[in-house]
Amino acid sequence: MRSSAASRNGGTPSEASETADRHPPALLVGDPQDPHMAAVLARLPRRGTIVVDAASLPDTLHYLDLQHITLLDQCGRPVRLGVDNPARGWIRRLAPAGWDAGAVLGGPAAAALAARMTLLAALLRDDSITWLTPVDALFAAENKIVQYRTAHAAGVRTPTTVVNGLAADLTAVLGEPFVVKPLGPANFTGVDGQEHVVHARTVNAADLDGTDLLDAPFLAQQRLTARTHLRIATVTDHAWTAELDATGLPLDWRRSPAAHHAFRPSSRWPQAERAALELAARLGTGFTCQDWIVDADGPVFLDLNPGGQWLFLPDNATAQIADHLAGWLGDAECRP
């Protein structure tokens, strides 16, 4: 239930101080129904733990001024955040999928949602909250070109990568066939109202005849032959690696339903784990899920997601990752 205007504006700071909790506050940005959010929330006390995103912000924000923010915790109690009561936070998703569906660009609904996102952005940049991954680092790390530049600077092996409007130029640099993958979101809602996913795929230059390669820019990459797929999850300075035999799998293993349940724990690739932690540190991302492959010459970095999924990994890894996320959020000794 939303707070009334009177309760938001009248006496809120004192009310919040009366609801102070022994537990340091934790702020999670996302949908509590998301299984990844739920896995972490199950390890935190409800009192003093706040869950908010762009969709739930009107029901969660209790009061905001230039020094303090008061939000309702999982028990519905106001928690006042400020320099005198700092919090730790983790950003999983800024808004649930489809929350802006039907809003006409430039229309009143879109303007209202933009205003709400602006308010959320102000909350995410409040100095009293220490983020596992700050929002600006998160936005930068989601950019694949930024990822590859960072990997290159760190000496991490990556596929040769090009963005270009001429297929012939791509062939000259990458040879044939080569790989194309979305530079932006890999999923969208079509005019038919159905959800579509765009997977990485192998093409020849002739396949791209008549295609404007810079209208919706794609990455073009050297095609490598994977022997093994790796998913490496990192939380601060900890890493977990799971591997998947690439035999018989498509270029993008996600296209195989069976592959989602075939990863196995692995300790065979410590050099990839070290590189994954280095990439996460350079990008300022305290949590990542990374895709790597191993070809005949060793590990190769492919992709980093600062809000990625890990629950399809082996059970011992999923539990440890959730434990470390919750442990970081609840660590009072490391508060500023």
- The answer to whether 135 and 121 have CB atoms below 8 angstroms apart is yes
Whole-prediction pTM: 0.90
Q: Are residues 41 and 96 in the same domain?
A: yes
- Do 267 and 301 belong to one domain? yes
Residue-wise pLDDT for 262-310, tens only, equals 999 999 999 999 999 999 999 999 999 999 999 999 999 999 999 999 9
Residues of the chain with pLDDT under 50: 1-21, 333-336
Confirm if 244 and 218 have CB atoms less than 8 A apart: no
* Residue 24 near residue 332 (C-beta atoms within 8 A): yes
Sequence-ordered strand ranges (E) for 46-148: 49-52, 61-64, 69-72, 78-81, 87-91, 129-131
Same domain? For 288 and 176 the reply is no
Q: Is 57 exposed, middle or buried (0-12, 13-18, 19+ CB in 10 A)?
A: middle
What was the pLDDT predicted at 52? 99
Q: What's residue 87's pLDDT?
A: 98
Residue 38 counted as domain residue: yes
Put residue 76 in one of left, alpha, beta given phi > 0 → left and psi -120 to 50 → alpha: left
pLDDT at 149: 98
Q: What is the pLDDT of residue 250?
A: 97
232 and 214 in a single domain? The answer is no
Contact 226, 277 (CB under 8 A): no
Whole-angstrom Cα Rg for the chain: 22
Residues 144, 111 share a domain: no
Q: What is the pLDDT of residue 232?
A: 99
Rounded to whole angstroms, how far apart are CA atoms 139 and 196?
Answer: 23
In a domain, 324, yes or no: no
Domain that holds residue 26: 5-131
What's the structural domain count of the chain?
3
CA distances from 176 to 182, 221, 331 (A): 19, 10, 51
Query: For residue 319, is it within any domain?
Result: no
- At residue 22, the pLDDT reads 59
Please tell me whether residues 28 and 49 are part of one structural domain.
Answer: yes
Whether residue 320 lies inside any domain: the answer is: no
Q: CATH number, domain at 286?
A: 3.30.470.20
Residue 197 has a pLDDT of: 83
Q: Are residues 149 and 257 in the same domain?
A: yes
What separation, in Å, do the N-terminal and C-terminal C-alpha atoms of the chain show?
32
